[in-house]
């Protein structure tokens, strides 16, 4: 009798792990659109793992994998003279609040000609946190990216009961221009509920508080600071460093969001963590990679920063550790970014050469990304 050969057929498992294309489409939109486009391929099965790194959009990515509800409250924007803003955070069923600085104190809340980093404050973010604690929350996860501020968390702490005084015992308005005037921090007004709360600060950068790579010199110009204002803010951050100590000021990530970790870590129960590994662990990337044949990631722009703690960089690292090929589909690729050196099997920029309005169009972006993902899979 002639032996019968049985062919065992199995589907290709593809993990989709996109970060947002900033200003165009969110992580969830990208992952879901590509998954929907691939559902008609009989030989492909997909798993979605939304990606974020502590920047704006992190709350939504974490909320998508959590049980709970969105809470929207009126609060203060980055500038006192602004009309109040309605900002949202996510309250999980186990009373953890997922908040991001960008919701109330974000640069996107100001027009380009309305930025004022010297007077911008994180007070509105602190009011969101206080609202969560008044609802019984004792754990807050705070995403630090996208801020318009450089106040080292003065605003947050004022909202939570602290007072900042100058040499004449006068109250200081919580903003960057006040930092170098702080001579006393009064903490008696911080209630026990705040002291009992644990704060997890998620950062998408590893910059320290001061110095050449500090928050003033690196990030304040992006928030509208002139060279003279950068110098003043650097003096302020150096002064804050004397208040909080070298161990905090020099910690990688302390310069995130205008130095928010500095005073928060000094006065409250905080831990400072890189955002991307935290989000990817919560969203189950390690489990999703089990048995995967291909990983596809991407963000708005692949550049040197991608591999320095950003979400797609962490995806690439985790996949390569397991010997899984990784492809990147992004909006643009920096000229000095080397896909081969990054360990990518393929890298595609979907918006190269397009007019800005077309490149940022959400519907067109999703269609182009899905098309290129199909092409990459077909070539495997």
Distances (CA, A) of 335 to 222, 301, 312, 314, 338: 22, 11, 18, 21, 8
Q: Rounded mean pLDDT of 90-113?
A: 95
Q: Give the H or E element holding residue 203.
A: strand 198-203
> Of 46, 45, 43, nearest to 31 (Cα)?
46
348 bridge partner residues: 329
In this prediction, residue 128 carries a pLDDT of 97
Q: Where are the alpha helices (DSSP H) in the chain?
A: 27-38, 58-63, 102-105, 123-134, 154-159, 192-195, 215-219, 227-244, 246-249, 256-267, 275-282, 285-288, 311-321, 356-360, 362-378
> Does the pLDDT at position 282 exceed 80?
yes
In this prediction, residue 81 carries a pLDDT of 84
Question: Is residue 328 within 8 Å of residue 310, measured between CB atoms?
Answer: no
> Does the pLDDT at position 365 exceed 50?
yes
In this prediction, residue 305 carries a pLDDT of 80
Q: Give the H or E element holding residue 221.
A: none
Distance of alpha carbon 246 from alpha carbon 251, whole angstroms = 8
The token pair at 187 is 């903490």
Burial class (CB in 10 A: 0-12, 13-18, 19+), 94: exposed
Q: 227 phi and psi, to 5 degrees?
A: -55, -40
In this prediction, residue 378 carries a pLDDT of 87
> Does the pLDDT at position 380 exceed 60?
yes
> Does the pLDDT at position 34 exceed 50?
yes
In this prediction, residue 60 carries a pLDDT of 93
Distance of alpha carbon 248 from alpha carbon 275, whole angstroms = 18
Grade residue 304 by pLDDT with cuts at 50, 70 and 90: confident
DSSP state of 57: T
What is the percentage of the chain residues whose pLDDT exceeds 70?
Answer: 97
What is the percentage of the chain residues whose pLDDT exceeds 90?
Answer: 87
> Does the pLDDT at position 233 exceed 70?
yes
CB atoms near residue 44 (< 10 Å):
18
Long-range contacts from 3-11, C-beta under 8 angstroms, 24+ separation: 11/42, 11/43, 11/44, 11/45
Three-state SS at 228: helix
The token pair at 143 is 């995403």
Q: Rounded mean pLDDT of 324-342?
A: 93
What Rg do the C-alpha atoms of the chain give, in angstroms?
22
pLDDT digits (tens, 9 = 90+) for 163-201: 999 999 999 999 999 999 999 999 999 999 999 999 999
pTM value?
A: 0.90
> Does the pLDDT at position 311 exceed 80?
yes
Q: Rounded mean pLDDT of 145-157?
A: 96
In this prediction, residue 10 carries a pLDDT of 62
Question: Is residue 148 within 8 Å of residue 257, measured between CB atoms?
Answer: no
The token pair at 321 is 């550790």
> Of 184, 163, 183, nearest to 174 (Cα)?
163
The token pair at 142 is 């705070």
């Amino acid at each position: 009798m002639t032996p019968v050969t049985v062919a065992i057929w199995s589907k290709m498992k593809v993990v989709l792990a996109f970060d947002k294309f900033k200003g165009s489409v969110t992580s969830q939109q990208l992952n879901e659109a590509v998954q929907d486009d691939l559902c008609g391929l009989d030989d492909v099965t997909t798993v979605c793992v939304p990606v974020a790194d502590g920047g704006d959009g992190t709350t939504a990515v974490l909320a998508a994998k959590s049980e709970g509800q969105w809470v929207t409250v009126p609060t203060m924007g980055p500038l006192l003279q602004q009309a109040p803003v309605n900002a949202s955070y996510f309250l999980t069923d186990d009373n953890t609040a997922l908040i991001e600085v960008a919701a109330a104190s974000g640069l996107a809340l100001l027009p380009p000609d309305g930025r004022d980093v010297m007077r911008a404050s994180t007070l509105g973010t602190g009011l969101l946190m206080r609202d969560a604690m008044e609802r019984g929350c004792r754990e807050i996860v705070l995403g630090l990216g996208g801020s318009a501020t450089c106040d080292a968390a003065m605003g947050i702490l004022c909202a939570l009961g602290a007072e900042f005084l100058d040499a004449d015992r006068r109250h200081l308005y919580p903003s960057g221009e006040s930092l170098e005037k702080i001579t006393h921090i009064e903490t008696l007004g911080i209630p026990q509920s705040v002291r009992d709360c644990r704060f997890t600060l998620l950062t998408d950068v590893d910059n320290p508080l001061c110095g050449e790579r500090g928050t003033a010199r690196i990030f304040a110009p992006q928030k509208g600071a002139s060279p003279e204002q950068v110098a003043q803010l650097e003096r302020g951050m150096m002064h804050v460093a004397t208040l909080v100590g070298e161990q905090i000021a020099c910690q990688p990530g302390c310069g995130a969001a205008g130095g928010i970790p500095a005073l928060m870590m000094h006065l409250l129960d905080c831990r400072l963590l890189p955002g991307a590994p935290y989000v990817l662990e919560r969203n189950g990337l390690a489990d999703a990679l089990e048995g995967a044949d291909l990983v596809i990631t991407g963000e708005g722009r692949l550049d040197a920063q991608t591999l320095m703690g950003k979400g797609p960089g962490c995806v690439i690292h985790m996949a390569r550790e397991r010997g899984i090929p990784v492809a990147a589909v992004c909006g643009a690729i920096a000229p000095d970014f080397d896909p081969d050196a990054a360990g990518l099997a393929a890298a595609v920029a979907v918006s190269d050469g397009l007019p800005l309005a077309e490149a940022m169009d959400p519907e067109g972006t999703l269609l182009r990304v899905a098309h290129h993902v199909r092409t990459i899979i077909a070539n495997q």
